[in-house]
Amino acid sequence: MLTHLLQKLSHKPPTAVLLRRKTTSAEYVASRNRDPTFEKLMDKYKNLFKVIAIQDLILGTTTNAAAPPAVSLDFLNRLSQRLHLNRGATHFLRKYPHIFNIFHHPIKLQPYCTLTETALKITQQEATAINSTLPLVVTRLVRLLSMSVTKSLPLRAIFKVYRELGLPDDFEESVILKKSDLFALVDSGNEPNTHLLKLVGDIPKGEVVAAVDNWRVVECCKEDCGVDRNEILYSFKHSYPPGMKLKRSFKAKVKEWQQLKYVGPYEAVEIGKKRKNKIGMMEMEKRAVGIVHEFLSLTVEKMVEVEKISHFRKWFGIDLNVRDLFLDHPGIFYLSTKGYRHTVFLREAYERGCLIEPNPVYEARRKLLDLVILGRRGLSRGHSEPTGVSQGEDGFTEEVKTDSDED
């Protein structure tokens, strides 16, 4: 009986599962090459995101003009799970005395939380920086809509990335309505109660140029340019995580991919036409890389949450899993999974954990990040003013890890 069973198994034709082990999406993410610099940066950002969420709740409260905005600790503690504050809001707030001030409300007779004077100044500085760069904000919106196949995007999708794009809180009134010659809000015929932001202004062909095209021009104009100008015509800048082994076959595939022609993010493309041949699929994939590369270039900090960019996938005509797209190109993008989210960075925009070309909005947000990194340090006993803190070689404030650093 056993011999007969073994004979049947030996004549069974091999299946795809036997020939190639299936890799799940989670396994693909876990197997990526880590970059210590980006991982350290994201380790700081994951607490910054929680601080910003609480800050928005505080600033969103309505109080009389004489008193600064504040919320009760009871309210924040009820939101602890949603805000991913594992030890409760009170414990988290006390970790950042440079940002939050806990006081006993004289009328409500319960503990409340408000922002410190330093944190309020940073929020005002960020708002001033955004308002002073409104022409740039308009350009970002025009570029974003120009990448859409229909030159329109859901307003709810733009709301999800308004902070990343450096848009003011009231961008519907201050940008969209004031620029009626460029933008228009229209109803979506397919989805009720959904508005689309449509580009109605005529943008001359060639006026919007992708960031990667500007990089190619700069590279070609360099006197010591060692790359063939024909090869760089469709290339992207690559820099890989330290320690990543680049096999000869991998380098050959990258070189072939670099020379592959593709349709740029601002060029018209036929949607719905399926390309089944290998070259056609590679061209569509490279076009998707060009679009997300340009999307990240338009953001203030050259980073965005993967879930947020996925809301634009259909409108940009991307028929691919964007997370796998980032993992397939580790020389262009870096994917981090810290802080209950997947965040993608544009590798070429960073050096040693900082933007190579900072902007006023980024600099204001960086000051808030510095306060997050500072934690409880820099306080003299019984005082709330910093007493002087040194910075590390990577641009971060030197930090001492304690058991309470993880929330």
Question: What's the pLDDT tens digit per position in 116-154?
Answer: 999 999 999 999 999 998 999 999 999 999 999 999 999
pLDDT at position 259 over 80: yes
Q: How does residue 385 score in pLDDT terms, banded at 50, 70 and 90?
A: very low
Give the span between the Cα atoms of 189 and 196, in whole angstroms: 10
Which pLDDT score is estimated for 66? 67
Determine how many CB atoms are found less than 10 A away from the CB of residue 288.
21
pLDDT at position 110 is: 84
Could you tell me the pLDDT band of residue 339, with boundaries at 50, 70 and 90? confident
Residue 273 has pLDDT above 70, yes or no: no
- Joined together, the tokens standing for residue 42 give 């994201």
* pLDDT tens track for 192-215: 778 899 999 777 777 789 999 999
Collapse the DSSP code of 164 into the 3-class scheme (helix H, G, I; strand E, B; otherwise coil) and give the result: coil
How distant, in Å, are the alpha carbons of 13, 128, 193 from that of 176? 62, 19, 18
Residue 249 C-alpha from the chain's centroid: 31
Note whether 313 and 295 are within 8 A (CB): no
Residues in the chain: 407
CA 335 – CA 347 distance, rounded (Å): 10
- 68 pLDDT band (50/70/90 cuts)? confident
Distance CA 152, CA 312 (A): 10
Q: What is the pTM of this model?
A: 0.84
Least confident of 49-63, 311-325, 373-387: 373-387
Nearest Cα to 357, choosing from 310, 276, 302?
302
Whole-angstrom distance, CA of residue 296 vs CA of residue 140 = 11
What confidence category does residue 403 fall into, taking pLDDT thresholds of 50, 70 and 90? very low
**b/e for 230-258, b at 16 or more Cβ within 10 A?**
eebebbbbeebbeeeeeeeeeeeebeebb
HSE-CB at 11 with a 13 A cutoff on CA atoms is: 5
Q: How far apart are CA 363 and CA 49, in angstroms?
A: 16
Please give the mean pLDDT across all residues of the chain.
83
**Residue position matching structure tokens 């270039």:** 297
Q: By the 8 A CB rule, do 153 and 145 touch?
A: yes
16-67: pLDDT as tens digits:
232 334 467 777 888 788 889 999 999 999 899 999 999 999 998 876 666 7
Which of 221-225, 260-264, 273-277, 371-375 shows the lowest mean pLDDT across its residues?
273-277
Q: Does 157 score more than 80 pLDDT?
A: yes
